Amino acid sequence: MFPQVLTLPVALCLGSVALLLVFERQGIKRAEWLLKPLAALAFIWAGLASGALESDYGVWILVGLVLCMAGDVLLIPPGQGPAFLGGMLAFLLGHLAYAVGFWQWPLDAGRLLGAIVAMAIVAFVVLRWLWPYLDKAFRVAVVAYVVVISLMVCIAFAISEVNWLIPAGALAFAVSDLAVARNRFVAPGFGNRLWGLPLYFISQLMIAATVTVAH
């Protein structure tokens, strides 16, 4: 799946995530302050190793990766306080940076229209699911977040004749956000992290790896 040049950052990222889950399962929460930023640094490393500074597309992806790392750190504290809102904002901007990056590629109008219709339905279902669990303070933020991530996915799927890692990475990122939403708003538990964290970090590695097709 990943180019050979990314072997070390991929191994560091996935190894850190595996250790994070082991420690979390044992109730050692403080390990997250080391292992989660380390995993995030690894996907930034992957972007740089892929040549992120050598193209406009790569720069936008690198900006998104850095914003996602900021979101990772801000989401470490539990609860729905200011850090969580800051993390949501960082991830929203990260999704937006990815969307701008994906926009650099030629787009197929038919695919874009189909993706918009499909994601509008998905967004409606997700918001209807979350709505009863959201305080008024979070409703605007969550709607804005869902709109931006849906836009990112739509653009990714509208790209014509380009590496499949772009739509796959965008979709995996969006799905991993469901685990975060369920954990914070609906039903907190280790099960959300068990599948959500690996999927999220794999999605970031996939998006980082797409930079190799841009130069």
CA angle 119, 72, 208 (to 5 degrees): 65
- Measured from the Cβ of residue 20, the count of other Cβ atoms closer than 10 Å reads 22
The sign of the CA dihedral 16, 182, 202, 55 is negative
Give the chain's length. Answer: 215
Q: In angstroms, rounded to a whole number, what is the distance separating the alpha carbons of residues 109 and 96?
A: 20
Q: In angstroms, rounded to a whole number, what is the distance separating the alpha carbons of residues 135 and 141?
A: 10
The pLDDT of residue 210:
93
Q: In angstroms, rounded to a whole number, what is the distance separating the alpha carbons of residues 156 and 169?
A: 9
**Tokens encoding 120:** 């509008």
pLDDT tens-digit series, residues 5-20: 789 999 999 999 999 9
**Tokens encoding 59:** 């720069």
In the structure, what pLDDT confidence band is assigned to residue 54 with cuts at 50, 70 and 90?
A: very high
pLDDT tens-digit series, residues 118-162: 999 999 999 999 999 998 878 999 999 999 999 999 999 999 877
- Selection from 51, 46, 47 nearest residue 62 by Cα: 47
CB neighbour list of residue 13: distance below 8 Å, 6 or more residues apart: 39, 42, 43, 46, 201, 204, 205
